Amino acid sequence: MTSASFTDPPLLRTLAQRHHLHIGGRGDDAIVFLHGFGADQKVWRFVAPAFEATHRVVLFDHLGCGSSDMTAYGPRHDRLEAYAEDVVALVEALGLQRVMLVGHSVGGVIAMMASLARPALFSRLVLVSTSPRFLDDPPAYSGGFQPADLQALFDLMHSDHFGWARMLAPMVVGEQGPQALAREFEVALRTLDARSAGRFARLAFYGDHRALLPQVHTPALVLHCLRDRIVPRAVASYLHQRLPDSRLLELDADGHCPQLSHPALTIEAIRGHLAGPFSPAARR
């Protein structure tokens, strides 16, 4: 960790324990990977190592998720912005420079919020299967879910947690996705802490963050699978059209988690985003 200049070692130790922090790689530039709902940092295990030869690579669990310190999870996490504040605190404590945030699903929204809170810290964003709003808002916006759909999802989550996990896992991985990944994700969903998972799920699925998009000037790659049952193709186009400096890359792939089902394509996309010059004129 020679390239990191720790601004407050005691604080860093505290944050590292809270978030089950893992740091690898080398170099002056850094990549911080953010997971979404129902997952933890292991969702990046096929992708993150590919960047350790050239970048400082940071993996962590959001509070209330994975192996994070549940005693540090509290009322402040009733706001999605609190998760972005956690990201900023980690990056500042590590003394990282030129940081690219790679966020999956609601992790992409958290990444955008962090970039707005401290724009000088973050050089680029990769938004993987990200939605600013899951609920439809007719006639102008199709998020993929009707209110009744989400209510049924949450009712099942509370009444039959195992049944909810069996239903949601194939949707996330994709019907053509590896069955081993679907089973793995089902097990992960079944073992979620009920209190924190319910709160995080409501923040993810009921939030409306569309107003943030025009304010995000950090260059962003919108990475989307063409056959994603959680985030429709129209949402990816919406993100691209409203982010001032963005590029849309659609993968001919199934599912909501390309970092698990199609890691080689995901790695290639992130590398392309790192390598290319970026400006509004480069949008396509």
Tokens coding 122: 């973050």
One-letter amino acid of 170: P
Question: Which helix (H) or strand (E) is 109 found in, with range?
Answer: helix 106-117
CA 267/CA 20 separation, integer angstroms: 24
pTM greater than 0.85: yes
Q: In terms of Cα–Cα distance, which of 14, 33, 16 is closest to 25?
A: 33
Average pLDDT over residues 2-18: 70
Helix-helix angle 80-94:106-117, to 10 degrees? 60
- What is the model's pLDDT at position 190? 86
Q: Report strand pairing: 122-128 vs 29-34.
A: unpaired
Average pLDDT over residues 65-81: 94
* Res. 184 pLDDT band, cuts 50 70 90: confident
Average pLDDT over residues 114-118: 97
**Catalytic residue positions, numbered:** 105, 228, 256
Confirm if 144 and 235 have CB atoms less than 8 A apart. yes
| Position 13 pLDDT exceeds 90 | no
Q: In terms of Cα–Cα distance, which of 165, 219, 175 is closest to 39?
A: 165
- The CA angle 91-245-104, to the nearest 5 degrees, is 50
pLDDT top residue among 107 and 198: 107
- What is the model's pLDDT at position 9? 75
Lowest mean pLDDT: which of 46-60, 79-93, 133-147, 174-188? 174-188
Fold adopted by 9-133+209-282: Rossmann fold (3.40.50)
Confirm if 129 and 105 have CB atoms less than 8 A apart. yes
Q: Where are the alpha helices (DSSP H) in 120-262?
A: 147-159, 161-173, 179-190, 194-206, 233-242, 258-261
Per-residue pLDDT tens over the stretch 215-250: 999 999 999 999 999 999 999 999 999 999 999 999
Tokens coding 105: 């699903």
Kindly report the number of other CB atoms within 10 A of residue 116's CB atom.
16
3-state secondary structure of 57: strand
